[in-house]
Amino acid sequence: MTEVRVGLLEFGKALNDSVTLPGLGELPGAQVSLGRAVRGARARLRRGDRVLADNLRLGIMVRKKFFSSDVEPVTDAGFLKDVFVAVGWRDLGHGDALELYTDDVAGPDLSRPIASATVAAPGYDQLTGFHAQVLVRDGVLRFGALTVLARGGSPMRVLGLFGPTGPLDELPPGQPGTVLLGFQCDVPPLAGDVLTAFDSPVDVERREGVAVVHGVQDLGNGSVVAAVEVPEGRGGVFTVGTRARVLRPKGTTFNEQSTVVAPELRILSLARDGVATRTNGGARTFTVGLAFRDLRQNDTIEAFVPSDAVELAPPPAPLVAPLLDVNSASGPELARLLSPSQVTTALEVRRRQGGFPDVEAFGVAIGLQPHEIVRLRRQATAGRVTLRETGVRQLDI
């Protein structure tokens, strides 16, 4: 996998919600909350647990000048810096985030062209970058469309569309207009170039859970079991069969990056307190089984469901195993829950005193630790017994 996540921009955290650029309108403000923001980077739009769009671009990035209301272009912004951006998506607001990444190999799907336009006159502005007067030949060119110049270069987003009366949402066939491309252009547009727009999906995937690996045990059959913990404030839903990817962090807080070292795995198993389950049930610590032997401590496991994936069947009703009665169970039956020495002790104590009033008393009598008693209560019960007379009678006063 060639994806490296280089930064995170969070909207609603900047000192100013937006700034106004002449001729362009308002740009939303965001804070760099992880890594760095580099102008031109690819981005995914996250809203809650949804990835609404992929292959967006940081086409325009500006910041406020010190002690001034004016803005200036910026090519790179570090940790906790405020910037104002245009990415080809309008309703960016509080709680949204742009996940910034690089990928030199895997690009967007360009198999479904939906419009084409011819460049009549290119232009350039130091604040907003490249723009071009175009004439749409086929289809409808829309704001935010994913486009490519015929002479090459990386895919770009339409950051703005303008007509004689101002901003537009779309340009129909035969209508001239101006397309704003910003600083996305690897190849500057020239007169006569053809700009082709492609269909781009929305609502890409659902991020169900994130967990950090604390320890790994290799099972020797190509799979591993990892002890994981869900970080505070992150989603923590894990289900057997769900897809997952593994990210490996590097760098410091101020320049942290994560490389996707395994892009598409399946969650093979889950367990809580040593008991296999279909889901983690909201637990923050549990174990995960994956077919990835290179899994390491501090790796991050990200569970996700693509929008076009078939939903997993609902989990079957759990089989309720009968509780083991510690007052009547035989030695072999007790051996399913206890060690041989504990079984011997349990049988001896039960013979001497005739039984146990409850599971807690049973656990204490055979020397179990408190957490072991808690686990035993899920699997055992203590049937009613008549304890031997002690010779002392209780009097009601």
Q: Using an 8 Å Cβ cutoff, are 163 and 93 in contact?
A: no
Place of tokens 């296999």: 276
Buried b (16+ CB within 10 A) or exposed e, 11-31: bebbeeeebebeebeebbbbb
| Architecture of the domain defined by 205-306 | Beta Barrel (2.40)
Three-state SS for 330?
coil
Give the pLDDT confidence score for residue 251 in this predicted structure: 83
Using alpha carbons, list the distances in angstroms from residue 36 to 98, 169, 212, 226.
12, 31, 22, 30
CA distances from 43 to 46, 50, 73, 156 (A): 9, 14, 19, 11
Cα–Cα distance between 123 and 190 in angstroms, integer?
Answer: 9
What count of residues does the chain have? 397
Which pLDDT value is given to residue 213? 97
Pairing between strand 205-218 and 194-198? unpaired
CB 388 within 8 A of CB 364: no
Could you tell me if 11 and 28 are in contact, meaning their C-beta atoms sit under 8 angstroms apart? Answer: yes
Q: Decide: 88 and 158 in contact? Cβ < 8 Å.
A: yes
- pLDDT score for 203: 83
Residues of the chain where predicted confidence (pLDDT) is lower than 50: 315, 317-318, 391-397
Q: Residue 107: phi, psi to the nearest 5? A: -115, 180
The number of beta carbons lying within 10 Å of the beta carbon of residue 297 is 11
Class of domain 4-102 (CATH, top level): mainly beta
Count Cα atoms within 13 angstroms, Cβ side, for 112. Answer: 6
Cα Rg of the chain, angstroms: 31
User: What torsion, rounded to 10 degrees, do the Cα atoms 372, 378, 384, 389 define?
Assistant: 10
User: What's the CA gap between 167 and 1, in Å, rounded?
Assistant: 39
**pTM for this model (two decimals):** 0.75
- Helix, strand counts (H, E) of the chain: 4, 31
CATH 2.40.30.10 positions along the chain are 4-102, 113-198, 205-306
Q: Specify the pLDDT at position 241.
A: 94
Homologous superfamily (CATH) for 113-198:
Translation factors (2.40.30.10)
**The pLDDT of residue 393:** 45
**pLDDT tens for residues 206-250?**
999 999 999 999 998 899 999 999 998 888 899 999 999 999 999
Helical H runs in the chain? 331-334, 340-353, 359-365, 370-377
Residue 73 is predicted with a pLDDT of 95
Residue 132: how many CA atoms within 13 Å on its side-chain side?
A: 24
